[in-house]
């Protein structure tokens, strides 16, 4: 076996052991502390509030179809006919 093969085997074993160990460590750390106590993390209600604000912002903005329809109406309104 060459040095490159030995190095590749060592890297493969390192990844096979290291990646699951890091996943388990991060899951245990995540469940050990509350979200509001973790650095860079807000509470769950803050995340829900931010998502609701983002949805409100998206819903309040008129879509491109509405803008085009307002500029070039296809169907005439009843007020445009001059009849009741």
Q: What is the pLDDT of residue 14?
A: 95
Q: Are the beta carbons of 40 and 49 closer than 8 angstroms?
A: no
* Amino acid 24: pLDDT: 94
Global confidence as pTM = 0.39
What sign for the dihedral angle of Cα 8, 10, 15, 17? positive
Q: pLDDT by residue for the chain (84 residues), tens digit each?
A: 899 999 999 999 999 999 999 999 988 887 887 666 666 656 677 778 888 988 888 887 767 666 666 666 666 666 666 555
With a pLDDT cut of 90, the percent of the chain lying above it is 29
């Amino acid at each position: 076996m060459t040095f490159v093969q030995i190095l590749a085997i060592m890297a493969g074993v390192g990844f096979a052991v290291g990646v699951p160990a890091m996943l388990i460590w991060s899951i245990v750390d995540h469940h050990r502390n509350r979200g509001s106590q973790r650095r860079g993390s807000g509470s769950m209600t803050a995340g829900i509030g931010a998502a609701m604000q983002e949805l409100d912002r998206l819903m309040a903005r008129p879509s491109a179809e509405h803008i085009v329809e307002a500029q070039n109406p296809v169907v005439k309104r009843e007020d445009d006919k001059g009849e009741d």
